[in-house]
A and B are shown apart, each in its own frame.
Chain A
Amino acid sequence: MTHDLNHLIASLAEDVKPARPQATPVKLLLRWLALSLAYVLVVLAFGGLRQDIAIVWASVEFTGEVMLLAAMVLASGYTAVLLSYPDQLQRKGVLYVPVLLFAAFVLWVGAALLNEPANTPLPPHGIECLLCICMYSLVPVVVMVLLLRKQATTHPVLTGAISFLTAFSLGCLALRLSEDTNSIHHLITWHYAPMAGAALIGMLLGRRLLRW
């Protein structure tokens, strides 16, 4: 081995301390959830829940959509955390779970689109929803990035995409509980398309944000 390499090894060995216990992916996810939910609940408390929540909660379409969104938040959050380990804890099969849930979500929304009555009114607002989702997602995305930066991802682009998708899915879920709209056209245009767009932004920023 070269002199430089020997010198490096000696200095790294000199520097070594007992490694702090590795945080499990579940603990990291719970840490993120605790901080993000606290923030989202405070914002929801100011804005209030939708007035017809008791009525829509009884409908299968609404409940199914909300449950799928919640499942996507959890699954993609867990995947983002798993991706932050260099070898994904050697559990690569789990990485496909958010893909399956996303596919199920797209099918659910597609079915809702086909079943939507033609005279469903469009809400008067549009871009305001996008801004609300960004507001709901702001702290979750920052917390997620800060948590994952302390790890060592070897897939920064994918991790960036999934971490942004996780945060914005939570934002969409929060807005779904506070905005009283039932128009699936509106939801696709101003809620779910931006959610996918956020994943794209995460993909572009991943290498820079998650450098280690």
Chain B
Amino acid sequence: MQAALAGDKRAYASVLEGISRLVRPYIARRLFIKSEVDDVLQEILLSIHKARHTYDGQRPFLPWVYAIVRFRLSDHLRAHYGEHLHEQAPLEEAENIAAQDVTEEGLTYESIKGVVEALPEKQANILKLMHNDGYTAKETAAKLGMNESAVKVAAHRAYKVLREKLRHDP
């Protein structure tokens, strides 16, 4: 990213490709209409391009990226639901509307936030920083004053507890 900020075109293209690969599954889990994922992703890349002067390379990069991702995603959802608020589909078409397999496990941080917050404080903080705020394990360790392997171990234990809880009480 430092090279990209200095104007290196190839480095910048590589950063944008990396962001696309990282962010695409995040957006796809949150959008009902899968054909809109690319549109939102393009909007996000444009926003990152426009806002790049607000990142100086001196702080963690992913929280900055995810702040823009969440903002554009909520903009899109607001516009989408605003447009479709007053539309009504006939009841006979209801069975054709749901395009998604209802058994698909659409787990997001928000959907299990309640379960995460019930974990011990340290584990809940680690999961929030890594999966909601976008910090890496190393950045999370720096933020919490722990070492990186301790963060990974705590996260691993938290995943195990979450898996058990969600299995018994989805």
Docked-complex contact A86 and B12, CB < 8 angstroms: no
List chain B residues, Cβ under 8 A from A181: none
One of B5, B10, B38 near A19 (C-beta < 8 A): B5
List chain B residues, Cβ under 8 A from A152: 47, 50-51, 54, 68
Interface flags for A106-137 (1: CB within 8 Å of B; 0: not) read: 00000000000000000000000000000000
A5 interface hit (Cβ, 8 Å): yes
Docked-complex contact B45 and A8, CB < 8 angstroms: yes
Once A17-B7, A85-B54, A151-B54 are accepted as A-B contacts, the answer to whether A12 and B63 lie under 8 Å apart by CB is: no
Question: Whole-angstrom distance from the CB of A9 to the nearest CB of chain B?
Answer: 5
B70 interface hit (Cβ, 8 Å): yes
Interface size bracket, B side:
20 to 34
Interface flags for B20-56 (1: CB within 8 Å of A; 0: not) read: 1100000000000000001001100111011111111
Docked-complex contact B41 and A5, CB < 8 angstroms: yes
Total inter-chain residue pairs, C-beta < 8 Å: 85
Interface flags for B63-78 (1: CB within 8 Å of A; 0: not) read: 1100110110000000
A60 interface hit (Cβ, 8 Å): no
List chain A residues, Cβ under 8 A from B59: 87, 89-90
Q: How far is the CA of A2 from the CA of B37 in the complex (A)?
A: 11
List chain A residues, Cβ under 8 A from B51: 86, 151-152, 212
B119 interface hit (Cβ, 8 Å): no
Q: Which B-chain residue is minimally distant from A22 (CB atoms)? A: B56
Docked-complex contact B38 and A2, CB < 8 angstroms: yes
Q: Which A-chain residue is minimally distant from B78 (CB atoms)? A: A207
Docked-complex contact A90 and B16, CB < 8 angstroms: no
Docked-complex contact B13 and A87, CB < 8 angstroms: no
Known: A86-B54, A151-B51. 15 other contacts (CB 8 A): A5-B45, A8-B42, A8-B45, A9-B13, A10-B13, A12-B45, A16-B12, A18-B6, A22-B53, A86-B51, A86-B64, A86-B68, A87-B67, A154-B67, A154-B70
Can you list 26 A-B pairs, Cβ within 8 angstroms, ordered by A? A1-B17, A1-B20, A4-B38, A5-B38, A8-B42, A9-B17, A10-B13, A12-B12, A12-B49, A13-B10, A13-B12, A16-B7, A16-B49, A22-B53, A22-B55, A86-B51, A86-B68, A87-B67, A89-B59, A90-B59, A90-B63, A151-B54, A152-B50, A152-B68, A154-B71, A212-B50
What are the 6 tightest A-B residue pairs by CB atom distance, in nearest-first order? A152-B51, A18-B7, A154-B71, A13-B13, A87-B67, A86-B67
> Which residues of A are interface residues toward B (Cβ below 8 A)?
1-2, 4-5, 8-10, 12-22, 84-90, 151-152, 154, 212
